[in-house]
Amino acid sequence: MSRAERLLSLMESLRRRRAPVSGAALANELGISLRSLYRDIATLQGQGAPIEGEAGVGYILKPGFWLPPLMFSPGEIEAIVLGSRWVAKRGDDELARAARAALAKIVAVLPAELREEADNSTLVVGPGEPIAAGERELPAIRAAIRRERKLVIAYRDRGGQATRRVVWPFALAFFDRVRVIAAWCELRGGFRHFRIDRIDELEPLDERYPRRRVALAKAWREAEGVPAP
């Protein structure tokens, strides 16, 4: 385990606890000597981590402290790089630009050893099936989900029958070839799923739907048997 990983593990261990923990217990958990633990505690305190306590008494991390974004393990860096590359390759243009920009910002503030891990990652996203239409609609759909606003859509079902619906979008699923909106449909009075490539017209409304997005998603998961992310 590198020192950066060890410091991260120490912070995570302290953050999980609600009561002071002895240095001996922390050292045993991390597999290091008590002397190394005291040195690591001093390093973190010097970097601004609000760790209270002292040798022989115990240590506790003050509530409300969040780890800075540069504190990632090598495995977490790989997950971030792979996820960003997938979005850049399989998302719409706006999301692809955002993924590349976010990854560049994260890599820029990483410690040198972790920056090298990110720059030299050999996890790649292979080619996939062509994605069905929907590129133009995605930014408007994501904005409606974020703002909890209704959408009017002209939609064709699998058989080609056209309907005009007002929906409350709360989730957007990215499959290999298609993108799907999960929404409450006013026409059907229930949860429905809409393939974006079957939407002929889309009009965002400035009207907020009457339930919170989180509540809709929870009810949808319960109704559809979808596990929480």
Asked if residue 118 lies in contact with residue 107, where contact means CB atoms within 8 angstroms, the answer is: yes
Beta-bridge partner residues of 53: 59
Smallest CA-to-CA distance from 150 within 196, 183, 180, 173 is with 183
Q: Are residues 78 and 43 in the same domain?
A: no
- Which H helix or E strand runs over 102? helix 93-108
Asked if residue 172 lies in contact with residue 142, where contact means CB atoms within 8 angstroms, the answer is: yes
Which amino acid is located at 161 in the chain? Q
CATH number at residue 149: 2.30.30
- Per-residue tens of pLDDT for the chain, all 229 residues: 677 778 888 888 888 887 889 999 999 999 999 999 999 999 988 888 889 987 777 899 887 665 554 567 778 888 999 999 999 988 888 999 999 998 888 887 777 777 888 888 888 888 888 787 777 889 999 999 999 999 999 999 999 999 999 999 999 999 888 999 999 999 999 999 999 999 999 999 999 999 999 999 999 999 999 887 7
Does residue 69 lie within any of the structural domains? Answer: no
Does residue 130 lie within any of the structural domains? Answer: no
Q: Cα dist. 88→38, 220, 227 in Å?
A: 43, 28, 26
Q: What integer pLDDT is reported at residue 91 of this predicted model? A: 86
Is pTM beyond 0.75 here?
A: no
Beta-bridge partner residues of 141: none
Asked if residue 62 lies in contact with residue 76, where contact means CB atoms within 8 angstroms, the answer is: no
Would you say how long the chain is, in residues? 229
Q: Are residues 179 and 108 in the same domain?
A: no
Q: Are residues 150 and 196 in the same domain?
A: yes
d(CA 74, CA 217): 32
Q: Are residues 94 and 38 in the same domain?
A: no
Beta-bridge partner residues of 191: 184
CATH number at residue 46: 1.10.10.10
Q: Are residues 111 and 160 in the same domain?
A: no
Does residue 125 lie within any of the structural domains? Answer: no
d(CA 195, CA 173): 10
Q: Are residues 80 and 153 in the same domain?
A: no
Does residue 19 lie within any of the structural domains? Answer: yes
Q: Are residues 78 and 105 in the same domain?
A: yes
Q: What integer pLDDT is reported at residue 201 of this predicted model? A: 95
Q: What integer pLDDT is reported at residue 118 of this predicted model? A: 85
Q: Which two tokens stand for residue 183?
A: 């929404």
Residue 110: domain span: 74-119
Radius of gyration of the chain (CA): 24
Q: What integer pLDDT is reported at residue 56 of this predicted model? A: 74
Q: Which two tokens stand for residue 118?
A: 């990110």
Q: What integer pLDDT is reported at residue 65 of this predicted model? A: 64
Does residue 124 lie within any of the structural domains? Answer: no
Does residue 197 lie within any of the structural domains? Answer: yes
Which strands form 162-174's sheet, in the order they lie side by side?
A: 190-195, 179-185, 162-174, 149-156, 199-208
